[in-house]
Structure 1
Amino acid sequence: MSAPVPDLERAFRVVVHLGPLQDHGMTRAGHRRVVPIVGGSVSGAFEAEILPGGADWQIVRADGSIEVDAQYSARTPSGALVLLHATGVRTGPPDVLAALLRGESVDSSEYYFRTVVRIETSDATLAPLQHALFLAAAVREAERVTYTAYRVT
């Protein structure tokens, strides 16, 4: 018996507004950076406002690639809270990664930025989102990250 071949279904779009990068330097885990999440929005499978207080806890690899580990909360218009947890990688040629770090505009075709997104919520209407993985293709801009998340079937 063979395993099913997954498909991707467009689920939601996220715009995450970022605060100033905090460079913690070399720690026991590696070169640690923290990027505060200060707001944003979710639209599509559910609508929500991203709340300030989350962050992306990054590790910068020796080759300049970045391991992404972002966690942040969002609130729906009905008041339900949703936790989004995105883990992944952003990589590309050194000059492109340096340009992104300086906040320059870089075409997303010049680098690779993908995450797996997990949802956590106590809201019964959104509970089915907790039983799926979402694959996202992201774009890094100077003060925000945008991504479209696809449900892996």
Structure 2
Amino acid sequence: MTARPAPPVPSLEPAFEVVVHIGGVDDYGVTRAGHRRVIAITGGRVTGSITGEILTGGADWQLVRPDGTLEIDGRYSARTDAGDLLYLQVAGVRSGEPAVLDALLRGDAVDPSTYYFRTVVTIETAAPHLAHLQRSVFVASCIRDADAVRYTAYRVT
């Protein structure tokens, strides 16, 4: 029998950084899907391999699990400095010890090494010169500040 080649081992290439400014939390309480929270996106900036402005109007539709872990479902738009539109969808989790998660909810400054906040970022665009963004998988390491979420997105090779 012929040996089959092993799949390539992926690595991470830094791709871009994002700062997403956020509004207050709308807490819907426990719905049929779980404890629902919605956080408005009020602006921000993308820098790195692409540069542009995060547009007002998106949101993060979160579910709070019984253990306090947040399921992240962020959707927002950006306009590059060249005028091209991007649609970003961010899905992942933020988890940690209850006291750390409570501090984050209060807006306290919290050391990002004390909680886990990772996401997958997918991008849609009609701009031909940015089509490569739609053909890659990006993972991000995120930080929650009082009025923003910051992350570095890495392209999985």
Please indicate the TM-score interval, normalised by the length of the shorter structure.
over 0.9
What is residue 75 of structure 2 aligned with on the other side? Answer: 71
Amino acid at match of 1:142: A
* Alignment match of 1:10 (pick from 14, 35, 47): 14
What is residue 25 of structure 2 aligned with on the other side? Answer: 21
- Alpha-carbon distance, 1:2 to partner: 1.4
- Alpha-carbon distance, 1:42 to partner: 0.2
Partner SS state of residue 129, structure 2: coil
Residue ranges of structure 2 left out of the alignment (5+ in a row): none
Aligned residue pair count? 153
* Alignment match of 2:87 (pick from 75, 83, 88): 83
- Alpha-carbon distance, 1:77 to partner: 1.8
Which segments of structure 1 move beyond 6 Å, counting only runs of 4 or more? none
Residue ranges of structure 1 left out of the alignment (5+ in a row): none
What is residue 53 of structure 1 aligned with on the other side? Answer: 57
Output the TM-score relative to the length of structure 2: 0.96
What is residue 141 of structure 1 aligned with on the other side? Answer: 145
Q: Are 2:45 and 1:41 aligned? A: yes
Q: CA RMSD in A?
A: 0.5
Output the TM-score relative to the length of structure 1: 0.99
- Alpha-carbon distance, 1:41 to partner: 0.3
Which one has the largest radius of gyration?
2
Deviations 1:48-102 (A, max 9, x none): 1000000000000000000000000000122110011110000000000000000
